[in-house]
Structure 1
């Protein structure tokens, strides 16, 4: 496992666990279990933040710091091989001035900004000469939906095989190793988790864009007419060899023996292709070669398909009625929920309580949930396929409200965002749900 990938897994585990706890859901990590048993109930004094949908790449990414400008005047290098000179470019990407690389941090930050803005499909492979097969890492965002797929190569200790998906309504997390699937519709814990993982994923390619001591090699124009600046490197930046966070690409027990790196970047800063090959020697004398490469392709809005594994879990959809005093949850597809399954009713950051049905709940069935009482004394009630007459002491749900449960390897949730009296509009709620 490469050092950035190992750190990615650690941050994924700790960050996702913390995120699930903050959201009032399971504290299990994707690599362990997605079961909802043992969900902690937040104290009544907790106050949700105004925007419950996180923008994870803003928290998962370190703020780039400017590098000192070299005192010597940069000079353009001689083109390598069949490449054109750097001066043939109509403009240069951030971090490149006067034909030379002056700020790798700015270059890496510009690339990450473009990737997280959407409209790209990044496919990375990670090869280790001591193992069979290659690890694969894919993160794609077509501005309407986002997917992440992380698969480690054969023989990796504690190998991760994880997939996530979210669009404007649905979200899911799949642990392929254990077979567990979490499904959510609307503003749910599953959605927050999928967005967290998606945002964190963009930090991994940044580590390899930031690590080499890049120099300009020349430029080229593709058959489609896209200009690309070509950079190469035969060494790492000193702070990137064993840097903290995601900056270091070698472990504390390794020495980098040689580096062979190349990338192609567009004038606006999007790294289209990257290859970083490292020869490493461990303190025990073992040597191996690690090669990381990726491509970033443009994709159109709506081009990402909904994964079929989402349908493995029961699929629910929630809405409210009767002045938000009645939560209406429809079973829209997937497996039948077994009779007696424990279902948790959540209101905002609080758990209202649990309900269960004395009969199976199948596609086409409708659940009606209401709560009586106030504050921590609220008690939920459930009716299946029969709309109840609400008692006078039925109280309204508010904020983010959801119904969730688990069955075998599958966790399912359906949530709805209820506008407050402060004047939240449907448009603003949709913007918060989509995270933009």
Structure 2
């Protein structure tokens, strides 16, 4: 496993929030926002372009209970989670694995990262009906909101036109969302680089949990490493007997900048978190992309939902490095297939398309067999992005719904 630098990961998250579809949020926090377990979560009523489970505010509240003041006398060996005994964390991997086994499929996770690059907040809710993600770069004011279920990913970016991108199948948007899963794991993976000792017990939502104190960094013990410039750490971890890490907080001094960098994570609603699909991620046409004629013809097959109307702009591949655009001469109805051919050199190609009938393949037709591109349709307020069927899709085992 490659060595992972936390500061690089945080910087990547800051860039991601600013560049990969970060839109300027406009909604204000709701003082009455509550979660299913009674703790504040930033939920709000459903409106036209807002998620009821992930607030569109520019501040993500991460409010830890804190380390508490429980004493060592109350500690029982039955309270030790996997990978922990009276000496502290002896197997961080076992602890992290138990956390994701218990909380990976259904929980709310909130994270706050502060570094010299700024502050980023993230809230992720994972339920049986899908996932919600909201990230905010509080330094730049940029933000993004996602919804995912299976191989369908929808992203809202109010600063872009169109503001919503709907993705079905293996597209760049789908792949990008999988990458976000790395950032969900990193805070817990850094435990391999920490020395943590048992520091008594406390309670979270009425449950007694083990409190562990951050005594220092143990950089030689892990490939998931923290940058050497971070020194003099302090913090705590609260874990249930089942291994759910309810809270994790640490801060350290960056000796290169003399600034304090920190990370705070809270986990709640394990087994009781619900996720609903927002209006802006609503019913769009489903379609899949495949190839015919030995990979020289793209086939966009409409699988159901409303028709894609005539005069819709169709884009083959990404805007910057794709094959080009073509306009639908007639509507694409459910059950019909749009056949697409690109001719010429890559970067200087011409795209033609026809509904229902497979075209003759010219001699200079491009080949899509090596990598099947996505096909996008631009409607009013939304980009529909379609790709090949995802070969292995196991619900919560990929992306931000993944376990460790």
Q: Which residue of 2 aligns with 1:328?
A: 301
Q: Distance in 2 between matches of 1:115 and 1:307?
A: 26
- How far did residue 356 of structure 1 move? 2.0
Q: Does the aligned pair in 1 maintain the 2:69–2:202 contact within 8 Å?
A: no
Counterpart selection for 2:126 from 141, 144, 147: 141
Q: Does the aligned pair in 1 maintain the 2:323–2:350 contact within 8 Å?
A: yes
- How far did residue 271 of structure 1 move? 0.5
Change (3 A) 1:30 1:202: closer
CA-to-partner distance for each residue in 1:235-286, whole Å, 9 max, x for gaps?
Answer: 322429xx997532x673x653x62x222212232211223244x36556x5
Q: Does the aligned pair in 1 maintain the 2:133–2:145 contact within 8 Å?
A: yes
For normalisation by structure 1, the TM-score amounts to 0.57
Change (3 A) 1:297 1:263: farther
Counterpart selection for 1:264 from 219, 235, 238: 238
SS at 1:203 equivalent: helix
- Give 5+ residue unaligned stretches, structure 2: 22-67, 363-367
Q: Which residue of 2 aligns with 1:239?
A: 219
SS at 1:306 equivalent: coil
Q: Distance in 1 between matches of 2:376 and 2:324?
A: 11
Q: Does the aligned pair in 1 maintain the 2:164–2:381 contact within 8 Å?
A: yes
Aligned length: 337
Q: Does the aligned pair in 1 maintain the 2:289–2:375 contact within 8 Å?
A: no
Q: Distance in 2 between matches of 1:417 and 1:433?
A: 17
**Residue 151 (structure 2) pairs with residue 172 (structure 1):** no
- How far did residue 146 of structure 1 move? 2.5
Q: Distance in 2 between matches of 1:328 and 1:182?
A: 19
CA RMSD of aligned residues (A): 5.4
For normalisation by structure 2, the TM-score amounts to 0.61
- How far did residue 217 of structure 1 move? 1.8
SS at 2:78 equivalent: coil
- How far did residue 370 of structure 1 move? 2.3
- How far did residue 298 of structure 1 move? 0.8
Q: Distance in 2 between matches of 1:251 and 1:339?
A: 57
Change (3 A) 1:192 1:144: farther
Q: Does the aligned pair in 2 maintain the 1:116–1:202 contact within 8 Å?
A: no
- How far did residue 391 of structure 1 move? 6.2
- Give 5+ residue unaligned stretches, structure 1: 14-28, 35-78, 419-427
Q: Distance in 2 between matches of 1:352 and 1:300?
A: 46
User: What does residue range 195-344 of structure 1 map to in structure 2 within 5 Å?
Assistant: 195-197=178-180, 199-206=181-188, 209-219=191-201, 226-233=207-214, 235-239=215-219, 247-248=225-226, 252=229, 255-256=231-232, 259=234, 261-278=235-252, 280=253, 282-283=255-256, 288=260, 290=262, 292-300=264-272, 303-310=274-281, 315-318=284-287, 327-329=300-302, 332=305, 339=311, 341-344=313-316
CA-to-partner distance for each residue in 1:160-213, whole Å, 9 max, x for gaps?
Answer: 53333310252023456657543202343322221221x212233225544542
Q: Distance in 1 between matches of 2:249 and 2:92?
A: 18
Change (3 A) 1:183 1:5: farther
Q: Distance in 2 between matches of 1:342 and 1:289?
A: 46
SS at 2:80 equivalent: coil
Change (3 A) 1:228 1:340: closer
SS at 2:249 equivalent: strand
Q: Distance in 2 between matches of 1:178 and 1:372?
A: 29
Q: Which residue of 1 aligns with 2:60?
A: none
Q: Does the aligned pair in 2 maintain the 1:274–1:295 contact within 8 Å?
A: no
Q: Which residue of 1 aligns with 2:356?
A: 388
